[in-house]
Every structure is written in structure tokens, then in C-alpha cells.
């Protein structure tokens, strides 16, 4: 089985990701995160927020609405320019984006002996329309195609209501929607997804622009590395001039070596003064009185893509088990507690006590089904760093066995030491 198939199957089996609307045959490009997946996704977003907002003194947060006045999208250029070039294979009528060369090549290979003839590219706007109100004609609006514009339209509100001074950033995490021509590669290209973005406002100056652009590139790469992604699977790729989005002065992608090839999961964009000047917004320095339109360096990451790449990167197969070598900070469950046997009341009661105690510190699971080996396997598959077993000896001397996910080594420690041991890796 290909690695992607294995990941998809693991996600279904362990409640990480389910196909959207599955009992009605699904719906292309939409996915649901299950009980385990939602924990890991929240961890990912929390780590990002800690690093990008709480870890700094120059960034504040925001949570803007998904639907905005459509004038926002006209001003930002998305109604006109948020387009992808659609081509159709004349043999099988499948549609593709002509700017995704690897996907075009892969499709041409599928047809082997026949030469694929493509239709002329047609530009296709990927904003998703919604209709509001009860009387006809209803008001047309859009689900946001990027979360970014919510930051720009609130630029003045943030400046007026907080103590920020240039240079400063506004961070946001939230859903975006794109009517993608070719959703695929599991959650990689979806129609509904989440973004985690920073818009960093600087003085309009070439040197400042270059300095902050390279600073943010490095800072963002560091974050992925700090959460354990193998460096060898990461690279920067600068956009060619003709590939840049309509707003970008220059742009670099952080790419991951996915099983389907090098793939973008975060874009660092120098947006210049494109957006603020489109929305006719300026900044006035309260000390010097100087008024200008700031430039913006943006770091725009996909929560779902990062999630997928953390999964792929941590996936391990050994002779007798599959496990996710996830950074403990991302692991959906931090510890699991097992009573050695389920028919000894005092062992089960002790295990419940330990479970409750750990649960008040971090996400903890309790499992008393089947044999211990199977319980380990289940926790390994969702990347739980520690499994704790309560046995006969526990009742005598207050010690438990703690098993390490990566080495499978077991140690005996005191119940009092459990919280400290697990917390150390968090």
C-alpha cells in the first residue's frame, strides 16, 4: 500500500480525519476532524498562537468574520484576479489546473500511448458565492477566499484600540473557502480549510522590506523544525515572476517533500502596500506625525496542510507496530492509563484515580479493553507519548510502569512522579 493510502486509512480507523458527509457518499474537498484529530489540530493552532502572538511583544490577535461586504473582495482584487487556469483533457474530460505542471504530467502519463490534447485554459474564479437575506434578489456575498482581508479591513480599528506601533503584526487563524478545480491528495487541497496567518506592517522602505521578509522566512521555518519536522523534508522555493499572486511583490513558499512531490504548505509574501492602499488606509506615527501607507510582509500557512505533513513526517512502521512519532506538544493524547486487568476492583479503582489525576493536567485516555499489547498499539497509532499501567505492585508500593512510545521501554516510577515526567516533554 502506498504511504498516502496508509495515512488515510489510519486517520479513519483512529478518529483523526473522516471524509465529509460520508453517509451520503461524501462531498469532494470537505473533511471532518474526528475526536483524535480535533485535539491534534487544536494543539497545532495553539502552538502557532503561542509562538506568533504570546511569544512576541509586537503581535496582536484578531478573529474576523468569514463573510464580509463584497466590496472588500472587489477592492482587494479577488473578484477580478482570484482565478486559476482550468483545462480539460479531451480524452477523458477530467479537469485540471494548467499551472500545476506535476499534475498535468501525471495525467499525461496515465494515458500512456495516447497523446493528450488539452482545451485552451479558461480562467475560473475560485471565490465561493453565498446568498444572504430572504427577499429576491438575495444579496450576493462570498465566503472568504483568504483570511487576510479581515485583518486589513480592521487595520484602523486595531491601531486605534491598542498600543501597537509600526513595525507590528496582526495574527489570525480561521477558515477559508476556495472553489478548487482539483481538490485532492487527501486534505492537501480542500475546498474548506483553515489558515494561520500573520500580517506584519512595516515602513515602506526597500531595506526594511528585505530585512523583514528574510527574517520571517527563517522564523517560520524554525517553527516547523521546533515541532520536529525532519529538516531534510523542508525547503524554500521562490516564486517566479509570472507565478506570483496579484498582490505579491515577491513570494517564497515553504515546501514539504510529500509522497506526491514537493508541495507548498506556507507562503511568505511581500504584499507591499497593495491591500492597505486598495482599502484607502494609512498609518499616522503618533510621535513624528508622519503619515504613510505601510508595507506588509505576510506569513500564510495552512493548518490542514501542516497537519497532514506532521502526520506523514511522523508516520513509522516497525515489524510489529505502526506509530506516530509526533512531537509531544502536538500529540492528541499525552498519556494513557491502563489497569493491568479489568476484573480486579482495586486495580481498576486505582487506575481510575491515576487517570483522573493526570486528566486534570493534560489530555489523558483510559483503556481497559482487550490485552495490554493491543492497548499499546492503539495509543502508538495516535502518537501518545506515554502509557501508564497500574498492576498488583502498584497497590503495594504506589509505583506504576510507564512506557515510552518511541523506544517501547518500560520503567517503574512512583505515581507522584508521573505528572512531572509527562510535563517535562510538553
Name the site residues for ligand ATP (rule: CB under 6 A).
146, 178, 180, 189-190, 193, 195, 264-267, 300-302, 304-305
The least distance separating ligand ATP from the CB of residue 146, rounded to whole angstroms, comes to: 6
Rounded to whole angstroms, how far apart are CA atoms 187 and 307?
9
The least distance separating ligand ATP from the CB of residue 265, rounded to whole angstroms, comes to: 5
The least distance separating ligand ATP from the CB of residue 98, rounded to whole angstroms, comes to: 12
Rounded to whole angstroms, how far apart are CA atoms 178 and 405?
38
Of the two residues 191 and 327, which places its CB atom closer to ligand ATP in the complex?
191
Grid cell at residue 148: 487576510
Compute the chain's Rg from CA coordinates: 25
The least distance separating ligand ATP from the CB of residue 289, rounded to whole angstroms, comes to: 36
Of the two residues 199 and 266, which places its CB atom closer to ligand ATP in the complex?
266
Of the two residues 233 and 421, which places its CB atom closer to ligand ATP in the complex?
233
Rounded to whole angstroms, how far apart are CA atoms 248 and 152?
15
Of the two residues 242 and 396, which places its CB atom closer to ligand ATP in the complex?
242
Of the two residues 308 and 347, which places its CB atom closer to ligand ATP in the complex?
308
Of the two residues 102 and 286, which places its CB atom closer to ligand ATP in the complex?
102
The least distance separating ligand ATP from the CB of residue 243, rounded to whole angstroms, comes to: 9
CA 236 to chain centre: 18
Q: What SS3 class is residue 6?
A: helix
The least distance separating ligand ATP from the CB of residue 413, rounded to whole angstroms, comes to: 41
With a CB cutoff of 8 Å and minimum separation 6, the contacts of 143 are 66, 67, 127, 128, 130, 176, 177
State the angle between helix axes of 303-314 and 3-13 in degrees (0 to 180), rounded to the nearest 10: 110
The residue nearest ligand ATP at its CB is 302
Grid cell at residue 278: 486598495
The least distance separating ligand ATP from the CB of residue 307, rounded to whole angstroms, comes to: 10
Q: Is residue 77 left, alpha or beta, with left meaning phi > 0 and alpha meaning psi from -120 to 50? A: left
Instruction: For the beta carbon of residue 89, count every other beta carbon within 10 angstroms.
Output: 19
Of the two residues 144 and 334, which places its CB atom closer to ligand ATP in the complex?
144
Instruction: For the beta carbon of residue 22, count every other beta carbon within 10 angstroms.
Output: 12
Amino acid at each position: 500500500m502506498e504511504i498516502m493510502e496508509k495515512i488515510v486509512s489510519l486517520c479513519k480507523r483512529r478518529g483523526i480525519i473522516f471524509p465529509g458527509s460520508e453517509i451520503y457518499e461524501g462531498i469532494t474537498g470537505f473533511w471532518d476532524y474526528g475526536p483524535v484529530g480535533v485535539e491534534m489540530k487544536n494543539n497545532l493552532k495553539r502552538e502557532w498562537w503561542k509562538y506568533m502572538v504570546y511569544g512576541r511583544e509586537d503581535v496582536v490577535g484578531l478573529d474576523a468574520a468569514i463573510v464580509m461586504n463584497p466590496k472588500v473582495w472587489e477592492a482587494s482584487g479577488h473578484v477580478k484576479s482570484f482565478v486559476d487556469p482550468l483545462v480539460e483533457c479531451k480524452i477523458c474530460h477530467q479537469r485540471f489546473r494548467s499551472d500545476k505542471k506535476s499534475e498535468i504530467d501525471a495525467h499525461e502519463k496515465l494515458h500512456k500511448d495516447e497523446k493528450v490534447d488539452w482545451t485552451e485554459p479558461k480562467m475560473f474564479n475560485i471565490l465561493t458565492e453565498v446568498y444572504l437575506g430572504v427577499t429576491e434578489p438575495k444579496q450576493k456575498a462570498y465566503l472568504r477566499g483568504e483570511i487576510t482581508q479581515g485583518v486589513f479591513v480592521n487595520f484602523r480599528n486595531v491601531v486605534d484600540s491598542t498600543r501597537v506601533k509600526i513595525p507590528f503584526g496582526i495574527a489570525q487563524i480561521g477558515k477559508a473557502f476556495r472553489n478548487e478545480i482539483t481538490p485532492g491528495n487527501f486534505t492537501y487541497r480542500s475546498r474548506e480549510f483553515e489558515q494561520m496567518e500573520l500580517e506584519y506592517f512595516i515602513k515602506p522602505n526597500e531595506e526594511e522590506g528585505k530585512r523583514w521578509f528574510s527574517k520571517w522566512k527563517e522564523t517560520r521555518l524554525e517553527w516547523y523544525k521546533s515541532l520536529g519536522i525532519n529538516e531534510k523534508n523542508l525547503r524554500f522555493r521562490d516564486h517566479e515572476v509570472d507565478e506570483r499572486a496579484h498582490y505579491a511583490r515577491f513570494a517564497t513558499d515553504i515546501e514539504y517533500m510529500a509522497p506526491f512531490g514537493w508541495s507548498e504548505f506556507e507562503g511568505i509574501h511581500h504584499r507591499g502596500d497593495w491591500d492597505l492602499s486598495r482599502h484607502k488606509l494609512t498609518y499616522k506615527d503618533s510621535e513624528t506625525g508622519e503619515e504613510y501607507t505601510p508595507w506588509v510582509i505576510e506569513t500564510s500557512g495552512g493548518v490542514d496542510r501542516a497537519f497532514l505533513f506532521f502526520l506523514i513526517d511522523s508516520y513509522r512502521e516497525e515489524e510489529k507496530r505502526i506509530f506516530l512519532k509526533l512531537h509531544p506538544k502536538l500529540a492528541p493524547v499525552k498519556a494513557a492509563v491502563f489497569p493491568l486487568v479489568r476484573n480486579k476492583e482495586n486495580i481498576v479503582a486505582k487506575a481510575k484515580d491515576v487517570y483522573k489525576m493526570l486528566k486534570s493536567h493534560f489530555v489523558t485516555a483510559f483503556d481497559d479493553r482487550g490485552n495490554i499489547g493491543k492497548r499499546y498499539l492503539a495509543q502508538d497509532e495516535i502518537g501518545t507519548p506515554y502509557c501508564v499501567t497500574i498492576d498488583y505492585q502498584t497497590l503495594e508500593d504506589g509505583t506504576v510502569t510507564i512506557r515510552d512510545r518511541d523506544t517501547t521501554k518500560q520503567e517503574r516510577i512512583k505515581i507522584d512522579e508521573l505528572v512531572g515526567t509527562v510535563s517535562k516533554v510538553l
